């Protein structure tokens, strides 16, 4: 497989390269791709020096798979050009997620929807991914009817400029502002732009993407997304109402059977998921499991994952692994 990583010089691009190495992804040729201003620069990856190439040169090279992490505008412009030469594009931006003509994929849940004609595949939003992974088997068993979710999201989800702002504030330096307010020692209930309904784009992503991934528009979802001063890892307080009742014992058993989920649920010994311990991990961590005593058939859970890993890079690489497996089977 000839593999291209588009946006290789960025925060998520670097994480994609780390995940590829850790998972020993079987590419035969690797293309590191970035904007025109970065083309020609050198990068060392796995003890080999690469020259970063431009988007146009990458299209001309006709890679089998291109993992995009270069922003929505770049994806809208360039993903179709890669698709035209036969490349399977896995895109990390929001450009294609809600398009009815493109699949939105979390491999543990719905990789089976992918066909040979799917040339542009959307990677979901980081917050959505960890939530649906945690809920997938519970949804199969009890049917999710309503989700109330509050997120506590790391500054790394906003990119390097946001991390730099927080670090400068901690050193009491004058930062270049990525946010409209200070972020260190603060919490901002404001992720992405506000819509006319009062919700942010990030919050509505969680509503719409959850329904699309589960293939069920009847699921009611409401979200509040908050940025907090952690470097890596998103946390979510999820209140989920099911059509059928459950036992906590069965919930734990189903979660233990869910691929990619690790249960950390022993509050008596101070064991519960935290962004600090989820950092650089590929799994989704679930804990604080308890019945909502105010509403029937309703469960409270606390879900944490590294937003640059399962929330972006790892999920994209897992999709590439699925494509590679299908290619090998067909061969």
* Annotated active-site residue in 102, 126, 139, 279: 126
Strands (E), 191-305: 220-227, 234-242, 261-263, 284-291, 298-305
Give the HSE-up count for residue 25: Cα atoms under 13 Å, Cβ half-sphere.
28
Radius of gyration of the chain (CA): 20
**139 a catalytic residue:** no
Active site residue 112: no
Q: Identify any residues that bridge with 160 across adjacent strands, giving them in sequence order.
A: none
Please give the structure tokens belonging to residue 174.
């004058």
Residue the block writes with tokens 């190439």: 53
| Two structure tokens written together for 100 | 């009815």
Contact 137, 164 (CB under 8 A): no
Angle between helices 201-214 and 126-142 (to 10 degrees): 40
Query: Of these residues, 102, 139, 234, 279, which one is catalytic?
Result: 234
* CB contact at 8 A, 267 and 294: no
* CA 202/CA 190 separation, integer angstroms: 9
Q: Are 298 and 239 in contact (CB under 8 A)?
A: yes
First vs last C-alpha separation in the chain: 12
Evaluate the CA torsion angle 109, 115, 116, 122 in order and state its sign.
negative
How many CB atoms within 10 Å of residue 101? 7
Cα(259)–Cα(318) distance, integer angstroms: 12
User: Which residues are catalytic, by number?
Assistant: 126, 234
């Amino acid at each position: 497989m000839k593999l291209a990583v588009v946006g290789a010089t960025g925060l998520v691009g670097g994480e994609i390269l780390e995940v590829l190495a850790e998972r020993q992804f079987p590419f035969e040729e690797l293309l590191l791709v970035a904007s025109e201003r970065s083309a020609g620069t050198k990068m060392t990856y796995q003890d080999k020096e690469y020259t970063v190439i431009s988007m146009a040169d990458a299209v001309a090279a006709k890679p089998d798979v291109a993992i995009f992490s270069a922003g929505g505008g770049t994806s809208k412009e360039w993903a179709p050009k890669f698709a035209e030469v036969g490349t399977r594009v896995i895109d990390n931006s929001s450009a294609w997620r809600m398009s009815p003509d493109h699949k939105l994929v979390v491999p543990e849940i719905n990789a089976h929807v992918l066909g040979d004609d799917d040339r542009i595949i959307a990677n979901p939003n980081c917050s959505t991914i960890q939530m649906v992974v945690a809920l997938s088997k519970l949804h199969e068993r009890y049917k999710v009817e309503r989700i109330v979710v509050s997120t506590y999201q790391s500054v790394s989800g906003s990119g390097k400029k946001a991390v730099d702002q927080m670090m400068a504030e901690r050193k009491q330096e004058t930062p270049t502002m990525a946010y409209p307010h200070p972020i260190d020692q603060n919490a901002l209930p404001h992720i992405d732009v506000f819509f006319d309904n009062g919700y942010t784009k990030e919050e509505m992503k969680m509503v719409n993407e959850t329904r699309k991934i589960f293939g069920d528009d009847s699921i009611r979802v409401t979200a509040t997304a908050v940025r907090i001063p952690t470097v890596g890892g998103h946390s979510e307080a999820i209140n989920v109402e099911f059509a059928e009742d459950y036992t906590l014992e069965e919930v734990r058993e189903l979660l233990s059977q869910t691929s990619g989920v690790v249960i950390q649920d022993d509050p008596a010994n101070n064991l519960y998921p935290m962004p600090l311990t989820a950092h650089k991990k590929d799994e989704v961590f679930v804990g604080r499991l308890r019945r909502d005593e105010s509403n029937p058939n309703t469960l409270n859970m606390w879900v944490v994952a590294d937003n640059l890993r399962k929330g972006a890079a790892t999920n994209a690489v897992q999709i590439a692994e699925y494509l590679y497996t299908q290619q090998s089977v067909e061969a």
